[in-house]
Amino acid sequence: MGDKLVKMVRVLFILISLIAVDISAIPVDQVIENKSLYKLHVDPLAEKARIYKIVGDGNSFQLNQSYIGKPLKRDLKKTNLVTKRDRYILKFTDSDNNVLMRLGIGDPFTAYAQHIGYEDSERFSFQVGKQEIAAAIPIQITPSNLIIEKRDINDVFNEISVINLDIQ
C-alpha cells in the first residue's frame, strides 16, 4: 500500500509542476483590456440614477416621465432583478436590441385579499386599474428602448409593449 501511495504522490507532483510550467509560459507583456464594471442595481445612497415612470394597466403602457435624479427608496424596493415571482418585467435594451438590464416588478395589477372577511370568497385576487411604475437604473446604462414583458403559464416572457426612450 505504501508503494502505491508513493507512486500517486509522484504522479501528482509531476502534474502540478507541469501545470505550473505551462502557466508560467504565458507572456506577461500582453496588454490586458481595461473594462469598466458597474453594478446591476442602483445603490440606495446614489445621488444620480436614470428614473423612468411608466403608466399601464397590464395590456398597454406609456412613458409618463424620465429624468436623472435621486431614486426614492420605495422605488428601489419595488424593482429588483428578475425572480420566479415576477409576472411582469421591464427590459432595457440598446439601439441594437441587446439587453442591458432586466428588472422584475412583480404583478402590480393584481390585488390580493386574503384576510378577515374574505374567508368564504371564491376569489382572493382582483384586477386593479392603471398603475404608475417607477424604475431606477444605474446612470452608466443608457438604454434606447424599454420593453415590458409578461410571463405566461409556461414561464416564457411575451412582449407586451415597446417604449422608445430619449438617451440623455
Query: pLDDT tens digit string along 35-87?
Result: 666 666 676 667 788 889 999 988 889 999 989 988 888 888 777 888 888 99
Average pLDDT, integer, range 98-127? 77
Report which of residues 147 and 76 the model is more confident about: 147
- 57 is a domain residue: yes
pLDDT bin (cut points 50, 70, 90) of residue 88 is very high
**CA dist., res. 92 & res. 14, Å (int):** 51
Average pLDDT, integer, range 15-30? 65
Give yes or no for a contact between 141 and 50, defined as CB atoms under 8 angstroms apart. yes
The mean pLDDT value of the chain amounts to: 81
- 160 is a domain residue: yes
Q: Which three cell numbers stand for residue 25?
A: 509560459
**Has residue 158 got a pLDDT over 90?**
yes
What's the pLDDT at 16? 82
What's the pLDDT at 15? 81
Report which of residues 44 and 106 the model is more confident about: 106
Report which of residues 4 and 156 the model is more confident about: 156
Report which of residues 148 and 34 the model is more confident about: 148
- 9 is a domain residue: no
Tell me which H or E stretch contains 24.
helix 2-24
Domain of 114, in residue numbers? 49-164
- 7 is a domain residue: no
pLDDT bin (cut points 50, 70, 90) of residue 123 is low
Give yes or no for a contact between 131 and 55, defined as CB atoms under 8 angstroms apart. yes
pLDDT, one tens digit per residue, over 41-52 is 676 667 788 889
Give yes or no for a contact between 61 and 55, defined as CB atoms under 8 angstroms apart. yes
**Has residue 145 got a pLDDT over 90?**
yes
- 4 is a domain residue: no
Query: What SS3 class is residue 22?
Result: helix
- 25 is a domain residue: no
What's the pLDDT at 77? 79
- 28 is a domain residue: no
> How many domains are there within the chain?
1
